[in-house]
Structure 1
Amino acid sequence: MADGDAAQVAHSFNKILAQPAKRSSRDVDESVKKLRRLILIEGIPSVADGTLRHRIWKIFLRVADLPVETFLDYVARGPCEVREKIRNDTFRTLATDRGFTDRVKEDMLIRLLDAFVWRNHDRQEYNQPCFTYVQGMNVLAAPFLYTMPSELEAFFCFAKFIEEVCPTYVQPTLEGVHHGLKLLDRCLKIVDPDLYAYLRSKNLSAELYAFPSVLTLCACTPPLDEVLRLWDFLLAFGVHLNVLCVIAQLLLIRDDVMRSSSPMRLLRTFPPLEAAPVIGIAVTLVRDLPPDLYEELVRHPYEFKA
């Protein structure tokens, strides 16, 4: 996107964001629809305005209140009961991305995750659904710490994201992740039966090649700037679409996979992420899915199985 075009798109986003604070829910919903449309058509031009992404993410997550004292209280409590488990993961979080490691230090990740565990320790007292640290949570926290201008904002956005957007993904059994992987196989069988059959002939299910991509909502696949563009889309339209985004990445290397006698060698590490074509393919795949399957896909990140 040229500088002039990016500035014009940034202006369009800012025009929507500049609406008066006190508005009806109908007006708010209309603004969200406009933001979604712009994200799908243009994408967020973060170079033209570095404040856009974090402001838009907060709107999609409906994060408005940022109680400083609450966060400081969690931080003041120090290490939570699973601190060692957290530290076993945080040191390798996006470790090969220099831009990330320059901006987000390990102690920031540890502090946020400690605070999140303390927050949910308190929620137990009120019989609310609660969480602890599980595999992959460090990577899910990383984009928030990188994008938000403060740890405070990153913490409350991350907490809202985990507790309301994808709670099944962070259960001790990773229930939602495994459900998502089964859905990936079912969707692939419909949208590309030949590719599905070839992978199955090699005893390859999504559990074997797509686990990291589903677990982290593709945040494990560099580069980070493309991950953020993909997350713009997922936060706007629903994280359930990540399953179709993983299929889109498969389709982009389909010919190589079908020619390979050992496709797992290719699938062990996906090529660098390119958000625009992945999103474009994912959107078209929605139309190919039966309504009942798509409905199950929509609900799986937040609805627990009976």
Structure 2
Amino acid sequence: MPPPTDSPAAAAAHSFNKILDKYRSASRARSAADMEEATKKLRRLILVDGIPSDVDPTLRPRIWKILLRVRDVSSEAFLEYVGRGPCEVREKIRNDTFRTLATDRGFKERVSEDMLVRLLDAFVWRNHDRQENDQLGFTYVQGMNVLAAPFLYTMPSELEAFYCFAKFIEESCPLYVQPTLEGVHYGLKLLDRCLKIVDPELYAHLRSKNLSAEIYAFPSVLTLCACTPPLDQVLQLWDFLLAFGVHLNVLCVIAQLLLMRDEVMNSPRDLPTDLYEELVRHPYAIRE
């Protein structure tokens, strides 16, 4: 049941729509400074009120397109990519897409595996044709299926989801999707360094158990937390990341650690000696 029209959420939706009106066709008449000021107000509203999607479901897709600066979407180009059929890494894509947010019923009802495959195939074809940047090329890599999921779930069409995903990958986090996952591994190192400053005791405790960010935070950094349910909270987090920068995901993962700090600190995480010895022997010792 939607909130009443005089609720805070309804008021927030009204404020968002007032700002979004400034981005419509008349925006050409506005100066760059005006548009920048509107964007600042948009970011502030996201931070203070959050996007009230339950009041106006059109808000989030419109806001994401503005934050990503997605203006022109060519159906002709997208259909041409899709029309080419399977890309060279289709098998690799299929190995991942079937398990994308597999436990989320709402996602599965709205986004089919075929939609994910089409988008990812099209993305590979798009970058097969583009040679604008000699340093960074793009193909399908681990984690892209999960990064595509929020766009397909949020956007009203596959076309818009494709262009938002492409812009996001190519401009917001290109190093996260290189074959070596260079940006992800660097982000994990930064997470360790930040945690050591923010909470030296928690950092030391995790390190004493040989737990680095590479071990416990890899999926969260790789997918910008999109792999962690529930999806509605993922979308709220992504509202924030798209507004202020995906680099802040590293600090958001630290915030999650701090929320469960007592549980982590009080967990011994040590195996009994006899169980550990059995673990050591199990690859080669025949059990009686």
| TM-score (structure 2 length as normaliser) | 0.89
Q: Paired residue for 1:68?
A: 75
Q: Deviations over 1:37-81 (max 9, x none)?
A: 001100000000000000000001000000110001000000000
Rounded to whole Å, the distance in 1 between the matches of 2:8 and 2:133 is: 50
Runs of 4+ in 1 over 4 A off after TM superposition: 125-128
Shift of 1:2: 5.3
Asked if 1:117 is matched to 2:120, the reply is no
Q: Is the 8 A contact 2:100 2:146 kept in 1?
A: yes
Q: Which amino acid aligns with 1:253?
A: M
Q: Paired residue for 1:180?
A: 187
Within-5 A mapping of 1:231-246: 231-246=238-253
Q: Is the 8 A contact 1:16 1:31 kept in 2?
A: yes
Rounded to whole Å, the distance in 2 between the matches of 1:118 and 1:244 is: 34
Shift of 1:124: 3.2
Asked if 1:16 is matched to 2:19, the reply is yes
**Gap change, CA 1:124 and 1:263, over 3 Å in 2:** farther
Partner of 2:91, secondary structure, is helix
Rounded to whole Å, the distance in 2 between the matches of 1:108 and 1:82 is: 16
Q: Is the 8 A contact 2:3 2:55 kept in 1?
A: no
Question: Which of the residues 125, 132, 135 maps onto 2:139?
Answer: 132
Q: Is the 8 A contact 2:137 2:178 kept in 1?
A: no
Partner of 1:81, secondary structure, is coil
| TM-score (structure 1 length as normaliser) | 0.84
How much is the aligned-residue C-alpha RMSD, in angstroms?
1.5
Shift of 1:130: 2.2
**Gap change, CA 1:44 and 1:185, over 3 Å in 2:** same
Q: Paired residue for 2:36?
A: 29
Shift of 1:28: 1.1
Partner of 2:130, secondary structure, is helix
Residue segments in structure 2 that go unaligned for 5+ positions in a row: 272-288
Within-5 A mapping of 1:1-306: 3=4, 4-19=7-22, 20-22=26-28, 23-124=30-131, 127=134, 129-262=136-269
Rounded to whole Å, the distance in 1 between the matches of 2:136 and 2:159 is: 22
Residue segments in structure 1 that go unaligned for 5+ positions in a row: 265-306
Identity within the alignment, %? 79
Q: Is the 8 A contact 1:123 1:129 kept in 2?
A: no
Q: Is the 8 A contact 2:184 2:222 kept in 1?
A: yes
Aligned residues: 264
Q: Is the 8 A contact 2:175 2:182 kept in 1?
A: yes
Rounded to whole Å, the distance in 1 between the matches of 2:214 and 2:135 is: 31
Q: Which amino acid aligns with 1:205?
A: S
Shift of 1:25: 1.2
Shift of 1:24: 1.5
Shift of 1:258: 0.3
Larger radius of gyration: 2
Q: Is the 8 A contact 1:257 1:263 kept in 2?
A: no
Q: Is the 8 A contact 2:176 2:184 kept in 1?
A: yes
